[in-house]
Structures are given as C-alpha cells and as structure tokens.
C-alpha cells in the first residue's frame, strides 16, 4: 500500500477524531469541519480504509502516527478516541446503514453541503389522529394561588481525577488531572475548588453545591436533572466508570434531599464511547447501548421513578411519570438527534420510536387533562440537533401547545431561552424552552443551578413557569480564600425582575426578544447572564456578530436556519 494513501487515510481519521474531540463546543452552533469538500474527502478516506481491508488496529496505529507527526494531541488521546469510535463507524458502514454521500450534509447541517440522496434521509411521524383543540388564551394565576419550587441541575460533569495543583493549562481536551503534564509557571496550577480553564469539577465542589441547594431549596417539590454527569475525558471513559459516576452523584443528591423525587435524563457524555447512542435494534453487546439503558433503569427506579417508566428506559432511555395529579413529566433522549452521535448518520427513521411515542404520550395526557413538562439534554433547534428531527419535534409542539406547559434542557452550558412559534403564523409564540447553565465550570463559566417557581399543586393548575432564579459562585474568589472557607453561593438574577418581565409566558418572552433587538442595555444584561457573569467572557464584550449569534439562538426552530432568521434582519 502506498504510504501516500495511508497518510491520506490517517489524516482523514484525524480530522474526524478532532471533530469529535472538539464536539460542539458549548454554546457553539457549527461543526468544526471547515468545508463540505474537505468533509467529503475525509469520509471517502475513512470508507476506503475499510474497503481495502485495514483492521481497526491498523487504523488506530495510523491515526496515532498522524497525530504525533502533526503534534495534535498526545498519542494516548488519539488512540483512546479512535479505538472507541471506529468499531461503530465500521459497523454502520459495513451494514450499509449510511450513504457516504449523505454524511457531510448531516455533519454540517446542510450548510453549503449537498446530499447524494437526501430523500433517503427523510422521515416524518404520523400526525395525531385527534384534532387539535382550540387554543385557549393562557391566564396566569393570581398571586395567592399556590406555587411549587423546582430545582434544575444541568451538566455537573464530575471529574473523579481532578487534582488541585495539577496543570490547568495543558494541551488535552480536559486538564487539571495528575496526567495533565508538568507545570511550567505557577499560574497554570489548578485551583482547589475548580478552575475556569479546560477542567471539570472536583467532588468537593459538587458536594458543596448540593449542600448549598439543600440549605436554601429543601422545599423543592422535585428535582429535574438534565444529564452530562461524566467528565470531558472522552479518550478514557469506560462503561464501569460512567455508571459509577452516575450512582455516586445520585447518592449525593439523595443524601441532601432524602424525600425529594428526582427526574433524570441522559446526556451525550453519559454514554461510552461519548455521544454513541445506538438504535435499540442493535442488540450486539459491544456496540449496543443496552448496558446504559439497563443501568439507568436500575438506578432511576431505585431513586424513585415509578416502575411504569422501566420499559421505555430499557428500550431507548426515555420515560414518562406523573408527578402530581395534573402534572406529567416526559423525559426524552434527544441524544438521538445529536449530529455527533454516529447513529444519527444512519438513515434511521424516528430513532427508538421516540417521537411517535411522544405523540401518543401527549395524546393520553391531553385526554386526561394533564399538563406536561418536557425535559431532555439537547434542546431541539440547537445547531447540533439534526434538522429533520427538529422539524418533526416542532410539529408535535405545535399540535400539543396547550398540553406542553414548558420544556427544560441543559447541554449548552449557558443560560438561555428558546421560543417556539406557530407553524401557520410564525409571529405567534406558542412555547418556551428553559435552558439552564452548567454546574461544571467547563469552560470559563461559573458553576450554577436554577430554581423555578411554578404554578402548581391544584390538579387544574396551569403548571406554567412563573419565574426562575439562577444561583452561582465565583471560583476565583473561592480559590483565593482556599480550603478553609466554603465557596459563597449567591443568587445571580431572578428572570422577571432582571429583565422587567410581567410573566414568563411565550408571548412575554417573545416581546423580551424583540425588545433586546433595539435595547442594547437589555441585551448586555442577557449576555452577562448567558455567561453567568464570568469575567473572561463579559469583559471581552459582545460585538455585532456575537450579538446576532446569541439572539438568533432564542428563535431558531431548525438547526440550519440560524443565520437566515427574518425577525433579526428586520
Ligand atoms: C462486515 O460484513 C461482512 C459481510 O458483509 C461480515 O462478514 C463481517 O463480519 C462484517 N464486519 C463487521 C465488523 O461487522
Ligand atoms: C458557504 O460558502 C460561502 C462561500 O464559500 C461562504 O462564504 C459561507 O460562509 C458558507 N456558509 C456556511 C454556513 O458555511
Ligand atoms: C421556523 O422558522 C421559519 C423561519 O422563521 C418559519 O418559516 C417556519 O414556519 C418555522 N417553523 C416552525 C415549525 O415553527
Ligand atoms: C398571527 O399571530 C399574531 C400574534 O398572535 C396575531 O396578532 C395575528 O392576528 C395572527 N395572524 C393571523 C393571520 O392569524
Ligand atoms: C470574582 O472574584 C475575583 C477575585 O475576588 C474578582 O476579581 C472578580 O471580579 C469576581 N468576578 C465576578 C463576576 O464577580
Ligand atoms: C434547512 O433544511 C431544510 C430541510 O429540512 C431545507 O429545505 C433548507 O433549504 C435548509 N436551509 C438552509 C439554510 O440550509
Ligand atoms: Zn455538558
Ligand atoms: Zn451535552
């Protein structure tokens, strides 16, 4: 075999590996693949290496060599990421589950990229056979009506190997570990409570955060937990360690909230290999995701989910549970829309039957006059959620706008809203997704969590979100004070008060969006909170391009229309 060809194959994989190492950086919309033609070249190189009979070991060796010669990452990282990913890519290729000419269109979310056969990727779910009820104007409850408090934990990313004093400024995807290499200057040393650089949180900070939550919010009716418990060491994760992290964190929350129900979801980092959620049809022990769903089912029911949730968790990592008479939680596994999940590249229609099940579940809730809160990790409409999936999800929200009282997500690590609009009249806002900032500081973000006030307790409550507040702490300050002082948590903002909102209804959030277009001071406030007031970001300021990016994120309904939003251009 020509060495030139092997170099080509090696480079192709390295670009792909780099793409998956970078992931979709929190808050970013775009894939790091620079162009469609390069992407197609990469895909060709990878598939040719399978065709000519290279083994997984050959390919991993080749990737390691290329990684070293290009001084991209340590050999261990390239080998780790490659050997975890290649069996899945090979399986999808080998079983003709993917059209090579369609891959880049998905990876790049159609931006400038063509498909060899886009029709093959198309699917839609059957619309509900029950006619949509008339939309009744939402009336918010009067002040004396009872409310409940709900705690939202997003993206803790606990790093069991976090080490104070280790190198926080390393070249790896995750630093602040004994293995992060030598320190050349004292500023590179990892802090005691965590670090704003490429580091996840140490146990002590997570423990402190949950203790702090219990001090102030023990009266929460329940906790929603939107996934990503595992650290960003994507080259060295394992099934066993991921599940151990899962169990230890659930135990931690249970220790401080013994009587509070927890409603969890799975994040893209909770799988091993990272992002890899196989279709339920894949029963192969090595490639399948059954191990994760079975263990999630075991832990989640042990920590309080009703046993009716079991069968769908085991099937596809999703479930529904009645919280109180009148309120139902629907927990989705949106990792099936993630463009970094290799299985999204296969031509699967409605992966794990998730959206058909969602339709049926919402029909039953509507009939029973229940309201629904949707929780999941990746927000549909985000740049890394596949467009066709988002479109089908939007249709369901349109049909069930009167039943879905609110949606809650994590994954972006930022503090955000996303507004959903009427398909038939795109000036009419119909629903709001609340996206909570991460507990982890990865990267350059202060740790945070949220508390919602929700109209609740009566079976006929609207169960709409009336307000929320975000709590945070300053890692620089905590590290300066050192181990003898506990970090000081404080309320960063209350949504209604901060933005002078009458309520948090879709209509008011849409008006808030419109106000920000013309009121820069208001936008700067949103921008500050988007980054949780973390110095590095806030002091950099937000130029016109940044402003457009952050504002568009509020209103994009399909991942690929972020730059063509008519409203912003007005
Ligand atoms: C690929 O497919 C061939 C037959 O088409 C089969 O013999 C082989 O085991 C498959 N390899 C993998 C890794 O699935
Ligand atoms: C599409 O290609 C044009 C010309 O090459 C480029 O200017 C533009 O930024 C590309 N758009 C996206 C979304 O990549
Ligand atoms: C999505 O947004 C586009 C452009 O703003 C609009 O034409 C379309 O109707 C919207 N679709 C849905 C489902 O809201
Ligand atoms: C579209 O929605 C807006 C806002 O709710 C409303 O004012 C307008 O009358 C609607 N247009 C049509 C054609 O229904
Ligand atoms: C965090 O604390 C440091 C050190 O006391 C201070 O310089 C910085 O301004 C604080 N940041 C915020 C956002 O309060
Ligand atoms: C976005 O995707 C839709 C198909 O879902 C396609 O019709 C449209 O052209 C795409 N838009 C852009 C800007 O690529
Ligand atoms: Zn995350
Ligand atoms: Zn995530």
- pLDDT tens track for 230-241: 999 999 999 999
**Separation between Cα atoms, residue 169 and residue 180, nearest integer Å:** 8
Whether residue 413 is annotated as binding a ligand: the answer is yes
- Per residue in 322-353, is it b (16+ CB within 10 Å) or e — as a string? ebbebbbbbbbbbbbbbbbbbbbbbebebbbb
Would you say residue 183 has pLDDT above 50? yes
Q: Give the confidence band of 547 by pLDDT, cuts at 50, 70, 90.
A: very high
Residue 534, Cα to own-chain centre: how many angstroms?
20
Q: pLDDT at position 39, please? A: 83
Q: pLDDT at position 564, please? A: 34
In this structure, the chain runs to a length of: 570
Would you say residue 399 has pLDDT above 80? yes
257 alpha carbon – ligand 7 mean position (Å): 23
Question: Which residue's alpha carbon is nearest to atom 11 within ligand 3?
Answer: 423
Q: pLDDT at position 71, please? A: 78
**Nearest ligand for residue 428 CA:** 4
pLDDT tens digits along 104-124? 888 888 767 888 999 999 999
Q: Which atom of ligand 5 is nearest the CA belonging to 446?
A: 13
Q: Which atom of ligand 5 is nearest the CA belonging to 538?
A: 13
Q: Which atom of ligand 6 is nearest the CA belonging to 561?
A: 13
Radius of gyration in angstroms for the set of CA atoms belonging to the chain, rounded to a whole number: 23
427 alpha carbon – ligand 4 mean position (Å): 7
Ligand 3 contact, 387 CB (< 6 A)? no
34 alpha carbon – ligand 2 mean position (Å): 10
Q: pLDDT at position 569, please? A: 26
List, as one string, the DSSP characters of 427-446. Answer: TSEEEEEEEPPPSS-TTT--
Question: Which residue's alpha carbon is nearest to atom 2 within ligand 1?
Answer: 94
Tell me whether the omega of the peptide bond preceding residue 273 falls within 30 degrees of 0, making it cis. yes
Ligand 2 contact, 111 CB (< 6 A)? yes
Whether residue 431 is annotated as binding a ligand: the answer is no
Whether residue 350 is annotated as binding a ligand: the answer is no
> Which residues make Cβ contacts (< 8 Å) with residue 210, sequence separation at least 6?
252, 253, 255, 256, 257
- Ligand 4 neighbours, Cβ below 6 Å, are 425, 427-428
**Nearest ligand for residue 155 CA:** 7
Q: Which atom of ligand 2 is nearest the CA belonging to 111?
A: 13
Q: Which atom of ligand 1 is nearest the CA belonging to 87?
A: 13
For the chain, residues classed under CATH 3.60.21.10 are 151-162+200-555
Would you say residue 326 has pLDDT above 80? yes
CATH 3.50.50.60 applies to domain 151-162+200-555: no
Whether residue 315 is annotated as binding a ligand: the answer is no
378 alpha carbon – ligand 8 mean position (Å): 7
> What does the block give as tokens for 113?
């990229």
pLDDT tens digits along 192-218? 999 999 999 999 999 999 999 999 999
Pocket test for ligand 4, best of 428, 507, 510 (most atoms within 8 A of CB): 428
Q: Give the confidence band of 72 by pLDDT, cuts at 50, 70, 90.
A: confident
């Amino acid at each position: 075999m020509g060495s030139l060809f092997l170099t080509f194959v090696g480079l192709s994989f390295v670009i792909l590996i780099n793409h998956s190492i970078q992931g979709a950086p929190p808050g970013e919309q775009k894939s790091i693949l620079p162009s469609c033609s390069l992407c197609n070249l990469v895909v060709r190189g990878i598939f040719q290496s399978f065709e000519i009979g290279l083994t997984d070991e050959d390919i991993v060796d080749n990737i390691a060599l290329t990684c070293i010669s290009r001084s991209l990452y340590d050999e261990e990282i390239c080998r780790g990421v490659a050997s975890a990913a290649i069996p899945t890519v090979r399986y999808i290729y080998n079983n003709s589950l993917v059209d090579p000419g369609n891959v880049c269109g998905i990876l790049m979310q159609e931006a400038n990229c063509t498909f060899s056969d886009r029709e093959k990727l198309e699917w839609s779910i059957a619309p509900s056979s029950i006619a949509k009820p008339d939309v009744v104007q939402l009336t918010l409850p009067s002040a004396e009506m009872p409310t409940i408090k709900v705690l939202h934990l997003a993206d803790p990313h606990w790093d069991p190997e976090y080490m104070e004093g280790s190198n926080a400024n390393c070249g790896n995807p995750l630093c602040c570990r004994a293995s992060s290499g030598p320190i050349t200057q004292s500023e590179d040393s990892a802090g005691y409570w965590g670090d704003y650089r490429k580091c996840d949180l140490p146990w002590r900070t997570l423990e402190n955060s949950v203790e702090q939550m219990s001090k102030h919010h023990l009266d929460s009716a329940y906790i929603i937990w939107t996934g990503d418990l595992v650290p960003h060491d994507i080259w060295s994760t394992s099934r066993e360690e991921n599940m151990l992290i899962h169990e230890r964190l659930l135990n931690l929350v249970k220790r401080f909230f013994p009587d509070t129900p927890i409603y969890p979801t799975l994040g893209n980092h909770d799988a091993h290999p990272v992002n890899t959620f196989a279709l339920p049809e894949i029963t192969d022990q090595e490639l399948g995701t059954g191990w994760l769903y079975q263990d999630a089912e075991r832990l989640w029911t042990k920590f309080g989910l009703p046993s009716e949730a079991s069968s769908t968790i085991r099937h596809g990592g999703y479930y529904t549970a009645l919280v109180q008479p009148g309120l139902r939680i629907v927990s989705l596994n949106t990792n099936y829309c993630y463009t970094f999940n290799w299985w999204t590249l296969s031509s699967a229609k409605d992966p794990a039957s998730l959206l058909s099940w969602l339709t049926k579940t919402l029909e039953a809730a509507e009939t029973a006059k229940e309201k629904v809160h949707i929780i999941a990790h990746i927000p549909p409409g985000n740049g890394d959620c596949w467009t066709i999936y988002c479109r089908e999800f939007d249709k369901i929200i349109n049909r069930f706008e009167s039943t879905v009282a609110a949606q809650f997500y994590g994954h972006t690590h930022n503090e955000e809203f996303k507004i959903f609009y009427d398909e038939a009249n795109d000036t009419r806002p119909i629903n709001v997704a609340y996206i909570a900032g991460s507990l982890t500081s990865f990267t350059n973000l202060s740790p945070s969590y949220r508390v919602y006030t929700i109209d609740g307790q009566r079976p006929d409550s609207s169960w709409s979100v009336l307000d929320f507040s975000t709590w945070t702490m300053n890692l620089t300050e905590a590290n300066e004070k050192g181990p003898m002082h506990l970090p000081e948590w404080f309320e960063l903002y209350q949504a209604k008060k901060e933005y002078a909102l009458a309520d948090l209804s879709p209509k008011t959030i849409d008006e808030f969006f419109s106000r920000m277009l013309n009121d820069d001071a208001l936008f700067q406030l949103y921008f500050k909170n988007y980054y949780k007031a973390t110095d590095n970001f806030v002091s950099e300021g937000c130029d016109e391009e940044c402003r457009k990016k952050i504002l568009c994120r509020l209103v994009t309904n399909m991942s690929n229309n972020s730059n063509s939003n008519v409203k912003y251009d007005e």
